Structure 1
Amino acid sequence: MFNRRENFSQYIKYYPVVSLIIALNILIYAIGVLPIVGDNVFNLGAGANFLIADGEYWRLVTPIFLHAGFLHLLFNMFWLYLFGPELEKIAGKMRFFTIYFFAGLLGNVATYLIQPPNYISVGASGAIFGIFGAFAALVYYTRNTMPQLKQTILPLIIVSVIMTFLQSNVNATAHIIGLLTGFIIGLIDFHPRRILNWRIKKKK
């Protein structure tokens, strides 16, 4: 289910939203390593709570597309590359983007509300955890029909949450709120009645 066997062109064709998000993150990171320009990109987009309090509300969104280093970018994009396509295929392009974006956004909003004014964060991990949360909702609805999904997703979520609190310099607030946001949206989007209605409409 999560084995990616598509070639480059097939991957872009089948999963355009995931591909676009990955490309955007890589592009922004590439700009961010340029001399002078890179510092400006990071300084203008990082989720600095004291600047958000001063009215720079775009910082609730821009951190989703910024990363603190190459390994930070690599790990987040690897998880998106691996797990994003299946969710985009199941949920559809717009619903997938809704899950990803709002998980990242609400993770940053919670970070602003909970963490101290001097707290600064960047990264797509809150949005990535939103993907995990959406799969958890799918597990809830398919627990009796798709046991293999449960066996894959639940251990991944448990380990990811544990590692969140064991590692340093990790925005645990964004991770947990992103996970819960994805789960709640998934419960709404993947409700059996809604899925049945989508299938009926597609046949008409």
Structure 2
Amino acid sequence: MFIRRENFSQYIKYYPVVSLLIALNTLIYVMSIFPIIGDNLFILGTGANFLIADGEYWRLVTPIFLHAGFPHLLFNMFSLYLFGPELEKIAGKMRFFTIFFIAGLLGNVATYLLQPLNYNSVGASGAIFGIFGAFAALVYYTRNTLPQLKQTIMPIIIISLIMTFLQSNVNATAHIAGLLTGFVIGLIDFHPRRILNWRIKKKR
């Protein structure tokens, strides 16, 4: 399910939203490594709670597309590359983007509400955890009919949550809020008919 066998052009054709998000995040990262441009991107886009409190509400969105170094970008984009396509296929393009964006947004909202005013954050991790949460909702609906999905995705979610609390400089608030957001949206979106259509397509 999560092994990608498409070539580059097929991947872009089949999963346009995932491809666009990876390209956008990568482009912004490349821009951020240039001294003046990069400094301005972080000055204007970092999720700085004290500036959000001062009315700069765009900072609830912009951190989703900023990353603090190449390893940070690589981990998030590899997760998106690996797990995004199947969810885009199941949910459809707009629903997939909705899960990604709202999970990232509410992860930043939770960070603003629950962390101190001097807290700063960047990264798409909350949105990535939203994808995991949507898969958890799918596991809930298919727990009796598709046990292999549970056996595949749940260990990944559990390990990701454990690593959230073992690593330093990780926005655990955004991770948990994103996970819960994706789960709730998934419960709403993944009605039995959509799941049935997805299973039929996988058998072809």
Q: Any gaps of 5 or more consecutive residues in structure 2?
A: 199-204
Contact 2:80 / 2:128 at 8 angstroms: preserved in 1? yes
Structure 1: 5+ residue runs without aligned partners? 199-204
The 2-side partners of 1:87 and 1:30 are apart by 27
State the aligned residue count. Answer: 198
Given residue 61 of structure 1, which amino acid in structure 2 is its aligned partner?
Answer: V
Amino acid at match of 1:142: T
Task: Calculate percent identity across the aligned residue pairs.
Answer: 87
* Aligned counterpart, 1:89: 89
Question: Residue 150 of structure 1 corresponds to which residue in structure 2?
Answer: 150
Q: In the TM superposition, what is the alpha-carbon distance from 1:191 to its structure 2 partner?
A: 2.2
Residue 201 of structure 1 corresponds to which residue in structure 2?
none
TM-score, normalised via structure 1 length: 0.94
Q: 1:124 to 1:36 in 2, by over 3 A?
A: same
- For residues 194 and 81 of structure 1, the distance between their equivalents in structure 2, rounded to whole angstroms, comes to 22
CA contact (8 A) 2:90 2:194 kept: no
Say which SS state the counterpart of residue 178 (structure 1) adopts.
helix
Q: Which runs of 4+ in 1 moved over 2 A?
A: 193-198
Partner of residue 202, structure 2:
none
Query: Residues of 2 paired with 1:12 and 1:151: CA distance?
Result: 28
Once the two structures are superposed, the pairs formed by residues 18-97 of structure 1 within 5 Å of their partners are 18-97=18-97
Q: Deviations over 1:100-139 (max 9, x none)?
A: 0000000000000000000000000000000000000000
RMSD: 1.4
Task: Give the Å deviation of 1:197.
Answer: 10
Alignment of 1:40-189 (within 5 A): 40-189=40-189
